[in-house]
């Protein structure tokens, strides 16, 4: 292993861990999803499988993520959201090592392997995924890249281990195992192994989404996410299979084109030279591109995680195809050497990061400043809240109040909003908490501004709560005796 790669990975871990932790300490992380995941792992570490008040449901009712159980021992050492933020960063960073090994195995070039590893660590989508709180599917990027590497090396037990770890990260992750089975068949002609991987992946996904008692809620959620295709599972499947024209029409727009352009850019668009490898990402891509929500087709979210391993893999194959095409059309030799390709790969990654990286279009200094006046004011108010008190807090404060049995995202449970199995239901709920922590000036990312002002006014004027502290826009209220 080249020492430069280890240094690059170590530098990435230090820098991104610092940014992730600073973002959390600056009240820039949110209830959904850092608060949600942290509260679940915290409960598991206390051998509880109770109702999750952050999301309004029991664990795994909206997503199935058994990988969280493997994080519990780390919470026995350090019970803090910082723990899972650092674990996420370390696991994502190790994906660069897996990609490096894949390139060495396939292209036999250290310079290209180093370039691809650097492009991975500079990839804007990787950084957005890393900084966007914590999400279990982010761990799948590295797990599946290692699974691909062990397919190349025919280390089947290790392939099975990393495929299993990847499959544990989200309910639809097993679809990636199915595609790895397909890849194994065409690459190694190992029919039994390929068939077992493909079949187990498909069966696992089906059980997650359609059969398990937990999956019944997930199944309903999935149909709701694709309601434009039908009102139930059967209708969605039939519409996709029988009306490809509607699906293609849905995909043929400038937003989708821009999304794909940005996703493929950091690898010099080399992946387009290996479309058959890109097709391995089709199930994951379909879940993103056919989703009702526009937010899914964005490079700034974690929803791209299971596409990323195949995009990188296709780019590796794309190098070989590009060289053959360049030779056929007699392009200058310097345009097809490993050195020139390596420079171009790194250059496009740097340009992409500068153009649409997280610190270019999303985050600023205030997002990672735990010493700002607002952050200090909020932290002082949190110290006034007893550890065993029930709390309703605005989304930015929830992760720092999380380790308690009752922690809600304001205005829940007083006024219902985006909560539980029926998040579309909104209205007065009549619930009570001991303390309410809100910010009258700061906007909520998932809340209409007029609604935020309405519920803020409601709680401030409520006779059930008294104001005990106010500073920097933050207001702490306590339930009257």
Confidence of residue 481 (pLDDT cuts 50, 70, 90): confident
Q: Does residue 134 share a domain with residue 200?
A: yes
Is 220 inside a domain boundary?
A: yes
Same domain as 305, residue 423 = no
Query: Residue 407: which H helix or E strand, with range?
Result: strand 407-409
Question: How long, in residues, is the chain?
Answer: 481
366 within domain boundaries: no
CA distance 290 to 19: 32
Res 437 pLDDT > 90? yes
Residue where one domain finishes, among candidates 332, 361, 390: 361
Q: What is the pLDDT of residues 362-395, one digit of tens each?
A: 888 888 999 999 999 999 999 999 999 999 999 9
66 has pLDDT over 80? yes
Position with higher pLDDT, 222 vs 459: 459
Do residues 442 and 296 share a domain?
Answer: no
% of the chain exceeding 90 in pLDDT: 76
Cβ-Cβ contacts under 8 Å for 328 (sequence gap 6 or more): none
Q: Are 34 and 133 in contact (CB under 8 A)?
A: yes
Six-digit token string for 203? 């069966």
Are 136 and 88 in contact by the 8 Å Cβ rule? The answer is: no
Distance between CA atoms of residues 181 and 178, nearest Å: 5
pLDDT tens per residue, range 228-261: 888 776 788 788 889 989 988 888 989 999 999 9
Q: Are residues 145 and 276 in the same domain?
A: yes
Last residue of a domain, one of 305, 328, 361: 361
Give yes or no: residues 185 and 323 share one domain.
yes
List, in sequence order, the alpha helices (H) in 329-421.
Answer: 338-356, 358-361, 373-382
Q: How much is the pLDDT for 224? A: 65
Look at residue 202 and tell me if it is in a domain. Answer: yes
CA angle 427, 28, 304 (to 5 degrees): 85
pLDDT at 280: 97
Regarding whether 375 and 357 lie in a shared domain, the answer is no
Range of the domain at 226: 3-361
Minimal CA–CA distance to 36: which of 13, 16, 65, 77? 65
Angstrom distances, CA of residue 150 to CA of 15, 144, 163, 443: 29, 10, 10, 47
Burial 341-352 (b: 16+ CB within 10 A, else e): bbeebbebbeeb
State the pLDDT confidence band at 29, using cuts at 50, 70 and 90.
Answer: very high
What is the pLDDT of the chain when averaged over all its residues?
Answer: 93
Distance CA 380, CA 24 (A): 16
Going by C-beta distance under 8 Å and a sequence separation of 6 or more, which residues neighbour residue 164? none
pTM of the model: 0.96
pLDDT digits (tens, 9 = 90+) for 298-352: 899 899 999 999 999 999 999 999 999 999 998 998 898 999 999 999 999 999 9
How many other C-beta atoms lie within 10 A of the C-beta of residue 110? 16
- Boundary residue ending a domain (307, 337, 361): 361
Taking CA atoms, 206 is separated from 202, 240, 290, 374, 402, in Å, by: 6, 17, 19, 47, 33
**Number of structural domains in the chain:** 2
- Would residue 270 count as lying in a domain? yes
Provide the token pair at 185. Answer: 């068949």
- Check whether residue 315 and residue 447 sit in a common domain: no
The reply to whether 81 falls in a domain is yes
User: Quick one: 194 and 265 in the same domain?
Assistant: yes
Q: Are 297 and 256 in contact (CB under 8 A)?
A: yes
In a domain, 248, yes or no: yes
Residue 42 lies in a domain: yes
Residues 162 and 210 in one domain: yes
Cα first-last separation, the chain? 65
Query: Does 255 share its domain with 380?
Result: no
Residue-by-residue DSSP string for 320-342: HHHHHHHHHTT--GGGSSHHHHH
Do 56 and 176 reside in the same domain of the chain? yes
Residues 353 and 459 placed together within one structural domain of the fold: no
């Amino acid at each position: 292993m080249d020492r430069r790669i280890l240094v690059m990975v170590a530098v990435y871990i230090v820098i991104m861990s610092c940014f992730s932790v600073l973002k959390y300490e600056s009240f820039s992380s949110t209830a959904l999803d850092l608060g949600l995941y942290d509260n679940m792992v915290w409960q598991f570490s206390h051998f509880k499988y109770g109702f999750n008040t952050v999301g309004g449901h029991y664990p795994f009712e909206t997503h199935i993520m058994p990988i969280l159980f493997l994080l519990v021992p780390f919470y026995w050492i350090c019970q803090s959201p910082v723990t899972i933020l650092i674990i996420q960063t370390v696991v994502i960073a190790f994906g660069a090592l897996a990609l490096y090994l894949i390139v060495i195995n396939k292209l036999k070039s250290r310079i290209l392997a180093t370039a691809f590893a650097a492009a991975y660590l500079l990839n804007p989508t990787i950084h957005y995924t890393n900084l966007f709180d914590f999400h279990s599917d982010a761990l799948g990027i590295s797990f599946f890249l290692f699974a691909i590497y062990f397919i190349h090396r025919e280390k089947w037990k290790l392939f099975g281990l990393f495929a299993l770890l990847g499959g544990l990260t989200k309910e639809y992750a097993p679809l990636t195992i199915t595609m790895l089975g397909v890849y194994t068949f065409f690459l190694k002609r190992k029919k039994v192994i390929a068939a077992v991987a493909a079949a187990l992946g498909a069966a696992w996904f089906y059980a997650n989404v359609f059969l398990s008692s937990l999956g019944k809620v997930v199944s309903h959620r999935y149909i709701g996410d694709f309601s434009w295709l039908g009102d139930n599972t059967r209708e969605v499947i039939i519409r996709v299979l029988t009306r490809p024209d509607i699906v293609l029409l849905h995909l043929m727009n400038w937003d989708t084109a821009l999304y794909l352009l940005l996703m493929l850019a950091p690898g010099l668009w080399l992946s387009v030279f290996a479309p058959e490898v890109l097709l391995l990402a089709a199930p994951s891509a379909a879940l993103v591109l056919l989703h009702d929500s526009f937010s899914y087709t964005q490079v700034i979210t974690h929803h791209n995680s299971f596409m990323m391993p195949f995009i990188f893999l296709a780019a590796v194959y794309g190098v070989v195809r590009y060289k053959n095409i360049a030779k056929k059309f007699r392009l200058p030799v310097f345009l097809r050497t490993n050195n020139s390709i390596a420079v171009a790969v790194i250059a496009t990654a740097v340009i992409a990061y500068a153009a649409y990286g997280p610190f270019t279009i999303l985050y600023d200094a205030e997002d990672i400043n735990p010493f700002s006046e607002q952050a200090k004011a909020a932290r002082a108010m949190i110290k006034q809240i007893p550890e065993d008190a029930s709390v309703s807090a605005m989304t930015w404060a929830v992760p720092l109040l999380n380790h308690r049995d009752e922690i809600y995202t304001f205005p829940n449970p007083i006024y219902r909003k985006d909560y539980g199995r029926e998040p579309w239901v909104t209205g007065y709920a009549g619930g009570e908490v001991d303390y309410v922590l809100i910010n009258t000036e700061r906007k909520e990312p998932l809340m209409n501004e007029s609604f935020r002002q309405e519920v803020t006014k409601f709680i401030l004027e409520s006779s059930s709560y008294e104001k005990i502290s106010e500073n920097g826009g933050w207001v702490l209220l306590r339930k009257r005796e």
